[in-house]
Structure 1
């Protein structure tokens, strides 16, 4: 295999066929392990096309990956194939300020790209929690994040994709045009497909003007129910918040312990952490509206985080909740999404089920779009007990989410971890249609074959 790959890549330093570092055989959690015979690091569309032609001809599985930040096993390879690491394709190819677009390679790191465009007075709104993920990875999972309530998710900022299909064919889906009803929108099918349909090699992204300013505001409540109710009222009042996060006090404690930092208003039972952005006048007007709605909702306090250091500390604690849990125990991360009026019902169910089953469950998330992040904690269970109880408890949690009108994933994707629960809840005709779409792109099922719904 190495000789064949060298004829395509022509740089042995970008081909690994000997012992493969375990990081390339797993995801960010590192618990699910796969197999592969080679890892390659292409630097161009032409190289990726060549690798895919070789893999297609020889029926070799190919697993695309970027920074490997995935949490559900979407970057875990299977069989004796190739891991296609695009992390060296990390260049901003064009910033077109006249069309408010940027064209980038898939390995560009999100935080680097955001800093670059903001230095030019522009703004790329998608803001998933893992800022070191790549743009290609974000597109492959349709990453959402905290700003989705106002600005939407990654899908809303992808205007075009250059793609390499499973057989090596290069196609362009989409363009810089803001409107397009010229045939089927192929890029929309690829967004969120977790590397199962095509390899992304270039991305045309929509930008907007950078907001003049932003202000975070912490609302504290004596119950999660009161906090969630305020979210609906804030949205209904047209205050246009950028982010709305719900967090229970017991969860904040984990972040405080992990970072050795303190969170404001420790007497509260729950919080809604929100951000307002725009012109200073807009922010001031919306802040007054927020005060009024929060007071009517029974907020214990309304704390504008005018001090930038305090605001950074509060958001850092919020951002480290999962790591705070991992510092205590292994956990299974879920990102169930429910209708926004069912967040309270779902979290209350989780809290009651936690007491019933005896497995610790920690929930927080995006109140403005119903995305509940849930850490199911292993504790001191041995491997056999953990695997058995986790499966049983996840079945209950996913069943409840679906009963409330929810879905298995809001932004992490399905991968290997959630496939069983997705297949159980999905209608057979939906899965059959997904398989037909997959076959149209990749009839040999060589791209990320493990998560292609072919089970």
Structure 2
């Protein structure tokens, strides 16, 4: 593709363009590195104008474009196809403005979530979205509408995006949204782009809503004789007007994996253990706010669960609380340390979480394929690791596909969906088309046609046929 060399007329700094076979493999995949794509060029963009010129060039020559943030995606949304141009945003990583009077921040899409949260908290402000991968970029969070543990109280990324600067597929630059807290002035274009995984437009600036930093926070662990009993507690807790920040569920057998993993990599810390090791499941709950609000919430919570739970353990001290959350945070890594696995982010109605996990456990027994589930009980988001074990590549791909089909079919029966926060990417295309009404797919593709008539933006992912 000889015309690709014309990119050097747009990006004058040759160090920011890499062609063909010289592109590192990590840029041709996602964080799992298992799906490899093809690219004719990798461009490290540094300004909105550069993005616009690259897209004008790609649009004119009908060259696919794959936008890329920090590359932490889990479903192949950053995998380029058909000799695409990869537009990497890691060098568009500036915090442009903190507006204290209007509680907003304006940032470039390559800003890393962890860095941004740390910075605004140093100013006494707070950016609530809290997906598990803190090294993800803000632009990537917006492209997948990332959720996380604090979604039960604060909502997901969509709830904190007030405006976007976008570059359309033909290079047109548009502004959507504003610092106004209300807006019924026409269709909300930014809301179409949020969660669209780079298929509609490319994000070049993000106007984000901030809130005041909570005074304090506290975590509790509640143990149960069954996961069912734990999940039955969740509506009682949510209805009690105590406003928890996070409500996580973990089966005891899964906690044990995390404990063993952490203790193996930190031999000096052999004391990392959850209390009540004879239970079957836990809820891990966090509150934030004033100290008085938190203390009142803890008292009320204890009263709510006293006849349902085995015990309530207030995690006093930062070390104990940090260790409990470290176990929760390392569960995927504890699996990856011993075997390849397929990470799922299924979401079901809150009341169906225990039924879904029961099905997962029965399918595990029936098939012999290990399946490890945990997740956000407060919003029904079940994270699931389907584990390869010692299977050959052929057996793994065959059995994985069969089990994914069963898991997604049961999700549908329970009124759930195949993705709560990871997105669809290339991994879930087949299952998305299998469960989504054709009328919906047709409307999505009509929207795609309006934004990107030549279908150059991430056309191999999600709903785009």
- The answer, yes or no, to whether TM exceeds 0.5 is yes
Asked if structure 2 preserves the Cα contact closer than 8 Å seen for 1:74 and 1:415, the reply is: yes
* Local SS of the residue matching 1:95: strand
Contact 2:30 2:71 in 1 (8 A): yes
Residues 252 and 69 of structure 1: is their aligned pair in 2 closer, same or farther, counting only changes over 3 Å? same
Cα deviation code 1:234-279 (max 9, x no counterpart): 0011110000000001111111121113223322210000001100
DSSP-derived class of the 1:37 partner: strand
Deviation at 1:3, TM superposition (A): 3.7
Q: Choose the corresponding residue for 2:291, options 280, 286, 304.
A: 280
Match of 2:403 among 390, 393, 400: 393
Give the secondary structure class of the aligned counterpart of 1:240.
coil
Alpha-carbon distance, 1:5 to partner: 1.2
1:428-447, Cα deviation, whole Å (9 max, x unpaired) = 00000010010000011100
Contact map agreement 1:336 1:407 (CA 8 A) in 2? yes
CA distance in 2, matches of 1:175, 1:361: 44
Give the match for residue 76 of structure 1. Answer: 79
1:22 aligned partner? 25
Equivalent in 305, 323, 335 of residue 315 of structure 2 = 305
SS of match in other structure, 2:382:
strand
| Pairing 1:122-201 to 2, within 5 Å after superposition | 122-201=125-204
Query: Partner of 1:211: helix, strand, or coil?
Result: coil
Aligned to 1:266: 277
Match of 2:114 among 94, 104, 111: 111
1:366 aligns with 2:369: no
Question: Residues 382-416 of structure 1, C-alpha deviation per residue, up to 9 Å, x if partnerless?
Answer: 11111111111101100000111000000000000
CA contact (8 A) 1:359 1:377 kept: yes
Q: CA deviation at 1:2?
A: 5.3
CA contact (8 A) 2:432 2:463 kept: no
Runs of 4+ in 1 over 2 A off after TM superposition: 261-265, 452-455
Match of 2:37 among 34, 37, 40: 34
Task: Output the CA distance in 1 between the equivalents of 2:369 and 2:178.
Answer: 49
2:49 aligns with one of 46, 49, 56: 46
Aligned ranges for residues 210-225 of structure 1 at < 5 Å? 210-225=213-228
> Which digits, 9 at most, give the CA deviation of each residue in 1:291-336, with x for residues without a partner?
111213x211111112101111111110110010111211000000
Q: Report if aligned partners of 1:62, 1:82 keep a CA contact under 8 Å in 2.
A: yes
Does residue 1:425 correspond to 2:435, yes or no?
A: yes
User: Which residue of 2 is the match for residue 315 of structure 1?
Assistant: 325
Where 1:9 maps in the other structure, the secondary structure is coil
Q: Using the TM superposition, give the Cα deviation of residue 9 of structure 1 relative to its aligned residue in structure 2, in angstroms.
A: 1.3
Check whether the contact 2:29–2:79 (CA below 8 A) recurs between aligned residues.
yes
Asked if structure 2 preserves the Cα contact closer than 8 Å seen for 1:42 and 1:85, the reply is: yes
User: Which deviates further from its counterpart, 141-150 or 9-18?
Assistant: 9-18
Q: Which residue of 2 aligns with 1:343?
A: 353
SS in 2 for 1:145: coil
Cα pair 1:445 1:452 within 8 Å, conserved = no
Residue 232 of structure 1 aligns with which residue?
Answer: 235
Deviation at 1:452, TM superposition (A): 4.9
Say if 1:139 and 1:191, in contact at 8 Å, map to a contact too: yes
- Which structure 2 segments of 5+ residues have no match? 264-271
The reply on whether 1:5 has 2:7 as its aligned counterpart is yes
| 1:192-232 deviation line (CA, Å, top 9, x unaligned) | 00000011000000000000000011111111011111111
Q: Counterparts of 2:122 and 2:6 in 1: how far apart (Å)? A: 43
Cα deviation digits, residues 59-105 of structure 1 (max 9, x gap): 00000010000000000000112000001111100000000000000
| Number of aligned residues | 454
| Aligned Cα root-mean-square deviation (Å) | 0.9
- Match of 1:272, SS state, is strand
Q: Secondary structure at the match of 2:143?
A: helix
Match of 2:304 among 284, 293, 299: 293
Match of 2:385 among 342, 358, 375: 375
* 1:204 matched residue in structure 2: 207
